[in-house]
A and B are shown apart, each in its own frame.
Chain A
Amino acid sequence: MQLLLYGVLLTFVVFAALAVAFLRDILSAIIAFAGFSFGVAIVYILLRAPDVALTEAAVGAGVTTVLFLLAIVRTVRPGGDRLFERVAWGPAIIATGLVGVLLTTVRSLPTIGDPNSPVATSEITRYYLENAYPQTDVENVVTAILAAYRGFDTLGEAAVVLAAGLAVLVVLRKEVYV
Chain B
Amino acid sequence: MIDLLTTHYNYIASILLFGIGLYVVMGSPNLVKKIIGMNIFQVGIFLFFVTTGYVDGGAPPVVGHGEETFVSPLPHVLILTAIVVGVSLTAVALALVIRIYDGYGSLDEDVIKEVQVDD
Chain A residues packing against B (C-beta within 8 Å): 3, 6-7, 10, 13-14, 17-18, 20-21, 26, 29-30, 33, 36-37, 40, 43-44, 47-52, 55-56, 59-60, 63-64, 67-68, 70-72, 74-76, 78, 85, 87-88, 90-92, 94-96, 98-99, 102-103, 106-107, 109-115, 117, 119-120, 122, 124-125, 128-129, 132-133, 139-142, 145-146, 150, 153-154, 157, 160-161, 163-165, 167-168, 171-172
Contact = CB atoms under 8 A, between A and B. Distances in A.
Contacts, number: 271
Contacts of B61: 48, 129, 140-142
Contacts of A103: 12, 15
Majority secondary structure, B binding face: helix
Contact of A114 (B56, B65, B91): B56
A172 B73 contact: no
Contact of B4 (A68, A107, A114, A125): A107
Interface of B: 4, 6-13, 15-24, 26-28, 30, 32-33, 35-37, 39-40, 43, 46-47, 50-65, 69-77, 79-81, 83-92, 94-99, 101, 106-108
Q: At the interface, is chain A mostly helix, strand, loop or mixed?
A: helix
Nearest to A24: B30
Contact of B91 (A21, A94, A146, A168): A168
